[in-house]
Amino acid sequence: MAQTDTKKPVVNYVRRPFFYDQWMEEQGIPIYRDYFIEDGRTLELGDWDERGHKAAFLQLAGQEGVSEARISEIPAGGKIAPYKFALEEIVYVLQGRGVATVWADNGPKHSFEWNDHAMFRVPGNHWVEYANMGGDVPVRLLHINNLPVAMSTLQSPDHFFDTSIPTKKSLITGPDGEFFSDAQAVDNDPSGRGQVANYWVGNFFPDMRAWDRLVPFKGRGAGGTTVFIQYPGSELTAHMSVFPAKTYKKGHRHGPAYIIVIPAGEGFSVMWPEGQEKVFIPWHEGSIFVPPNRWFHQHFNVGEQPGRYLAFHPLPQFTGFMGEKIDRSADQYEYHQEAPEIRERFEAELAKRNLTSLMPAECYTDANYKFENEK
């Protein structure tokens, strides 16, 4: 008697698109899916009929399903009509100067001016209106929020846009009681043993290209400095690293959706999943990229001025650093551990510009080497 084949058929599981992805496709504007955007100031945008202005979505590798990034444009002398968004949003000014007006339903209006490289937070469930104060240059704004996560739990777009749900809280103010006043420093580790000595709390940072209230970024190399940023009453955070010309940072990895924009400098970054091929990303002012989840990445300054990269963090549960006592030594390459090709690529890029590395020879041989500002 013939035997019956009891093997079960193989079923390949295909994930349904995120609800956010479906909504994003329906908006009819460009969606950029790649490892990086060479320049957000010149990226081709499309007419967003629902909002009445030009825009594009960035859905870069490592960002999917976690955070939204989009670029909007305000024509010279023009405005973006008021809209209400249920979630808080961080805005970085890629180009231009203008004024934003924020208000709750039937509440007082709060207006503030901004210029190139400003960064500010718009609170959730508030109205916002943007106006371009320049007569000849379009404004480009980079918007970052958590809509993909939110839309995975509540699939109705009407809940998030121009919703009739009343505002239950007033604006969450900064340390001095004003919403859009300058940020203030808060001590983080008085002992000095941590990576950074303090962080800054506020809703408005006037110029990240010129921001000079920096502290050493201990352990990340290159003699770099940093500012860590928190927004009052928010779980969103960010940081900006500044490192000298002709140097580079140590390779490291973390969770997904760290959206990086370049305020100043010329260089490149390398990203790779452990043991696999590397992705090369050239950058300059206005470049945008996202290291994919748990990919190592490393930043190189091949210019003659300090380089700056501003990283917008995902929600804390996505960062990969929730456990304070976890051994993270496997998440960073020290200089003496890195593959020779890393140093070779860096020096070759410098040579193209007739420049020479300023990396100290000792950092490649001494496992305990510390830069002057790390001591």
Question: Between the CA of residue 270 and those of 201, 279, 345, 346, what are the distances in Å?
Answer: 31, 6, 10, 10
Give all domains of the chain, ordered by start, each with its CATH number: 19-159 (2.60.120.10), 184-374 (2.60.120.10)
Q: What is the reported pTM?
A: 0.92
In angstroms, the CA 322 to CA 324 distance is 6
Task: Please name the residues in contact with 98: beta carbons below 8 A apart, sequence gap of 6 or more.
Answer: 74, 113, 114, 130, 131, 132, 133, 134, 139
Q: Which two tokens stand for residue 325?
A: 């006592």
Q: How is 95-139 classified by DSSP, letter by letter? A: E--EEEEEE-TTS--EEEEE-TT-EEEE-TTEEEEEEE--SSS-E
Q: What integer pLDDT is reported at residue 1 of this predicted model?
A: 45
Query: Which candidate, 342, 309, 280, 321, places its Cα nearest to that of 36?
Result: 280
pLDDT, mean of each 10-residue run, the chain (375 residues): 52 71 96 96 97 97 94 96 95 98 89 96 94 94 97 90 78 75 76 65 95 91 94 93 97 95 98 94 98 96 98 88 58 94 97 97 95 88
Contact 97, 115 (CB under 8 A): yes
Contact residues for 344 (Cβ-Cβ < 8 A; gap 6+): none
Residue 219: what pLDDT? 86
Encoding tokens for residue 210?
């010129």
By the 8 A CB rule, do 189 and 196 touch? Answer: yes
> DSSP code of 182?
B
Total length of the chain:
375
Look at residue 191 in the predicted model and tell me its pLDDT: 45
CA–CA gap between residue 117 and residue 93 (Å, rounded): 5
Using CA atoms, how far apart are residues 304 and 127, in angstroms rounded to an integer?
43
pLDDT for position 164: 82
pLDDT of residue 76: 95
Question: Using CA atoms, how far apart are residues 94 and 178, in angstroms rounded to an integer?
Answer: 25
- Output the CA–CA distances (angstroms, integers) from residue 59 to 65, 180, 231, 245, in the order listed: 9, 29, 24, 31
Report d(CA 54, CA 286) in Å as an integer: 18
Single-letter amino acid code for the residue at 293: N
pLDDT score recorded for residue 96: 97
Give me the pLDDT at residue 2, please.
46
